[in-house]
């Protein structure tokens, strides 16, 4: 993201942005890009409104009404005249998103946009990003919040040790990592494993919690009924069942268990038509 915004030089290779080659000195190209990289920084002694005015003066022309629209969009109208030094982390984050949107960019780059937001703020941020994607913009998000990625993005990339280890539509990636969890009597766990082992390879069967009788079968969620029927046919009756996809498991598998800054998600939030090409869609 720093390379895309011209903050650092790439060690090698070339960069294309919005379908055209991009070099660090191409300042006017950045008028089409909005970015929030790491924590936003503002003049603490100025108000939110004044900060946005100063920021707008440094780039492409911004109509005065645009500032008011963005203050409303991020929910800061009531505090727009207060000095930023009195803002909470979440409020500064929302102001940072407003600043990134000043020039109505085609491409929006956001690094951990939910940082410091309360649950209501996270939901509002998610809805805002989806609405921007529906307008035809590309929204690129870097985040460690797997739950947010799963409900927001339609295209996902997983990075480990600086390398992209998997990329593709979120739906396709999750289909590879489906999980059906089955609960049987604890004394029937071994029998259940033997029964299911005739159809599923051993690496797909794990004991989630033997004391409680839980097994996990790594298959597509729509096979839950077939698993229940197979166990019942062997006289093993299911007392509980859960199915779904496990994005966290996929992440840990592909990154070798990394959960620090070495492993990360980058992607595009869901657009109306799922198009993640330049100018459309969202990523996480």
Q: Name the pLDDT band for 284 (thresholds 50, 70, 90).
A: very low
pTM above 0.85, yes or no: no
What pLDDT does 204 receive?
A: 80
- All structural domains of the chain, each given as residue ranges with its CATH number in brackets, are 16-167+258-283 (3.40.50.300), 178-245 (3.30.70.100)
Give the separation between CA 113 and CA 153, rounded to whole angstroms: 13
Q: How far apart are the first and last CA of the chain?
A: 13
What pLDDT does 158 receive?
A: 86
Residue 80, pLDDT > 70, answer yes
User: What's the pLDDT tens digit per position in 148-198?
Assistant: 888 888 888 888 887 888 888 888 877 767 788 899 999 999 999 999 988
User: What's the pLDDT tens digit per position in 100-126?
Assistant: 999 899 999 998 888 878 888 888 888
Enumerate the β-bridge partners of residue 141.
110, 267
Mean of pLDDT values over 248-273: 57
**Out of 1-5, 12-16, 92-96, 254-258, least confident range:** 254-258
Mean of pLDDT values over 225-246: 88
What pLDDT does 268 receive?
A: 59
Q: Measure CA 69 to chain center.
A: 25
DSSP string, the chain: -TTTTTSS--SSS--EETTEE--TT-GGGGGGEEEE-SS----TTSBHHHHHHHHHTTSS---HHHHHHHHHHTT-GGGTTSBGGG--HHHHHHHHHHHHTTT--SEEEEESTTTT--HHHHHHHHHHHHHHHHTT-EEEEEES-HHHHHHHEEEEEEEETTEEEEEEEHHHHHHTTEEEEEE--GGGHHHHHHHHHTTS-GGGEEEEEGGGTEEEE-S-GGGHHHHHHHHHHTT---SEEEEEE-HHHHHHHHTTT--STTEEEEEEEPPSS---STTS-EE-
């Amino acid at each position: 993201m720093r390379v895309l915004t011209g903050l650092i030089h790439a060690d090698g290779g070339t960069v294309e942005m919005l379908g055209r080659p991009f070099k660090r000195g191409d300042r006017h190209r950045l008028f089409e890009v909005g970015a929030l990289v790491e924590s936003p920084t503002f003049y603490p002694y100025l108000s939110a409104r004044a900060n946005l005015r100063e920021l707008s003066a440094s780039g492409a022309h911004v109509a005065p009404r645009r500032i008011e629209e963005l203050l409303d969009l991020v929910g800061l109208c009531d505090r727009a005249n207060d000095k930023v030094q009195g803002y909470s982390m979440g409020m500064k984050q929302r102001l940072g998103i407003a600043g990134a949107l000043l020039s109505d960019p085609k491409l929006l780059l956001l690094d951990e946009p939910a940082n410091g937001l309360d649950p209501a703020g996270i939901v509002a941020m998610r809805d805002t990003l989806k609405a921007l994607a529906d307008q035809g913009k590309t929204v690129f998000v870097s985040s460690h919040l797997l739950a947010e990625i799963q409900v927001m993005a339609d295209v996902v990339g997983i990075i480990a040790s600086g390398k992209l280890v998997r990329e593709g539509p979120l739906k396709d990636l999750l289909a590879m990592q489906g999980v059906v969890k089955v609960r049987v009597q604890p004394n029937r766990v071994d029998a259940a494993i033997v029964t299911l082992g005739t159809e599923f390879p051993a690496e797909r069967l794990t004991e989630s919690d033997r004391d409680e009788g839980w097994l996990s079968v790594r298959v597509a969620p729509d096979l839950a009924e077939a698993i229940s029927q197979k166990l019942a046919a062997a006289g093993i009756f299911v007392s509980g069942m859960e199915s779904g996809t496990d994005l966290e498991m996929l992440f840990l598998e592909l990154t070798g268990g990394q959960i620090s800054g070495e492993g990360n998600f980058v992607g595009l939030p869901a657009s109306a038509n799922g198009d993640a090409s330049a100018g459309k869609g969202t990523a996480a």
